[in-house]
Structure 1
């Protein structure tokens, strides 16, 4: 089958049909097949009565195709129908079929082939569905079907017609002959008794064209059906078992499992677009490159949800190893990952996602972004692009409250490490901050702000959580009038509105904008229960899912990260995107099963996102923060 405007292969005759594709298997089964057949048969009959079939014989070769595609199981159901009008008493064969090579001489066969090709070239077609033939000892003449009345005047009642035949059986003609005989009986039945039929089979085998296996036989033309009503029609083909029913092809067993997984993932997403959210821009979501800083409880939840949205590019960064307490809460790990000291989390998480869905492009970086007080912690960074190659890097990242020495070797290493983190942020579109400590989020937040990357931050308490997007800073040429503003000046811009309503994305605060002191070592002099993140087991899954959904909502907004923040007051208003609100923060309280959507302004003296820190300090003397 091919499209209507597709080019037709050489020496092939087109047949035009109607495709009926059903949305459910029940509709496929309950469809009135007889009504479909009768409708097509009436159209064929009308073309015969009106004479349109003489001018365009392809109208005789119509077909139907009824289909249903189970796109989840890759089961494709189809049922072909080739409508054929029937004579009341059948057709009498007066001379049995024989091969053309047994009746025609070699010269006649060559003359037939040349005459056929010349007529096709003259008409500008690749093949003729029906044609008229006159032949003598060494000559063959071919003409179009519409020239019947004058073509056979000198034949003494002998009539020979050619039918382009797709059948390969040596004793039986193909289905295109049946409707032609109805046409012949209706138009010339009273003047013609016997008809010699050539089933023209034009084949090419191993580069050699051959028509000698065409068959030729004679029939007695029956009387034409009387009355204006359409004759009885048949045409629904039998299935593999020989019964009247559809055929089914199971493609799941012959498809590449990886491609099968990719198409299944994409199908689930496209189902949302078909009816529920037609304006959803899936390409923007799938193409997003996501950097996950932290591969713990939050990181695992975020990664699984990103995969559910079809995100193909996910990069993990974490320095920890999997401990025995991790697998029950961290969805990507299992007991075997804890043995022999534990696998690096970033590496194990990347490998597990690759097993879950091979179509995802993953990288795992085992790196330190959280150090003990006073230590200079050096570790291996393992890059796993899943192309049978791995590279090693030494990486240590200084953090507020975690001092390091200032030797030449240390500073040189720090420059390389920060450059590596910068490269990671620069190479991604969205940065997720999912670490355990507050201070570990500071340097990535600073780098992301300077690179104008969308930052999604998620943090947990015992039964509370916060999910927020950082304000996306404007490009440098637009910052001069907007970068240095205070909360008071910002509120004066919002005339006639609440202080925290209609705040554009570039004026939104980051995770550190409400701090009154700079971030420091949050683990110093803390007991074990105070150092570890102790939270209710379901909290991370809720926060991780909301973090991804917030990213998706931001990407669907026409202004992206610059979108005006939605607040709790906007819950009853018209949502700005097809997916709903685009909040700045989501603060959840599991004890009350409640969420609020606060909005906060950027602080012009913020230690992470303010223009002074980003421009004056970071680019000039970042090593001396």
Structure 2
């Protein structure tokens, strides 16, 4: 890693620079329990600005349509998250919604209000008095602390500054981010080294703490409470807002205060704690002997929520001077080289709306991985080539869900045209597609995917799939076309990683199953028959989504398509992948909203993938297929031994009946 990351900062010495290797060493030593005097100095992990492409796109629109030459400060909003896995920096994120300060904040994220100073020229950007901007914002925080306004509105403690210049001819954006923090004159030391919550709290207390915090958020009507008061017993945990200090605490010799902490380091709190400590010292520093601090961290790993990695430590706050002079402040972010200076991002390519769409889709998936499944291999999902045999009710829903997972390569095969009954159930088509005899489903589906997301690589083939019992030898032309269709299907299956069998009948799924089994390709969704078309409308959406989710789960399994089947009995066991179970079949019953996961051995007399069928296909090729197409259904049953099995079963039933009658 060539860049150096600013991770820790004391009060006066600025930022302590550590490269990626040192980060690992630091975190390893943090867990050793060492407690030297230097370790007890309280240091904070500063924010790392995370300005998404969507933010710059919105700034461009604002500059062109609203701000124009106006350089007056503007209110914006970012947010930070406290559930990131260990190793990620403490991020303050600004995205396209940053200019809607009254808009919603993402779930379980804490809002941070800021001031945007957008200059008209690069010279004005360089000449801006950064020290004056920092001191102005710091003075507002200090005044709010002294007056008590910060108690009623703690968001004042989490303000930030963003200085920008947008070169809209080249789409070069210069920016400098600042998170103002007041500094104690003599710094701060911890009474004892930090420990994780599970080291000092029982499981009952941890559960009570989590429930109490959720209740406080619900009562306050916000996604995350940034600061809170806490007191607890062996069985209960109570919480309150900062403004309730006097009626919540009767004994202030030792109090517990919590902070929604975005830091991932095990021995250091994040930046938002700094101004809170100044507030506590100014308001009640003379009354308190010890402050116990809870750095509340709320992760979700493999679908399970956990706060046990939260950090607890104690400090003795010094008394602040009685005068009203504002404390010194720090907060300007260092550039990638570790020096005090701005950053620049070149978005000349991704400011194209099509590229911006790709960036947004990828960002959504990355956020899901960061917050829910850190071990998810997104590259494997996105690069998977999917062949959809059938562009009807199931095909449309499967395609939309695949795009939601970021799959870029989707190919349709269908020989039907769009009819008037299709658009209400098949979301890739509209009424106009039915006019004039109807557009080709495969081609119309490709057009619609490209309109939804231009970054998709979609193809369509208007072709038939030969079926058993449907003769193809009426003429040489028919036979030749069938052979071309088989060759084309073989080529498509060979070129794709996953094949979705989304046709209406078992007969139409026979040939793709044989080819896919021969080429060792994964196949999905083979047992719905015509139910998706003639049953409840929601069935296809549910089945299509389940099929795609099952594909993604298989891709995350170390054995891929050869993964051992998960069954209903495994639901309480440790899942084999980061996304959970990997069943081979999902049987759904919408009438009672229930799913079962049957698991069975491969059937050695299967008419599509049994060894004898695959052997004939691989040795004889189209000659064998032609015989299947032109013969009755009994041909495959005779070949695989199903006919004999049926006869033996019927004979056994007759003998059983005779025995019953003689008793």
Question: TM-score, normalised on structure 1?
Answer: 0.48
Larger Rg computed on CA atoms: 1
Structure in which a larger fraction of residues adopt helix? 2
Q: TM-score by structure 2 length?
A: 0.45
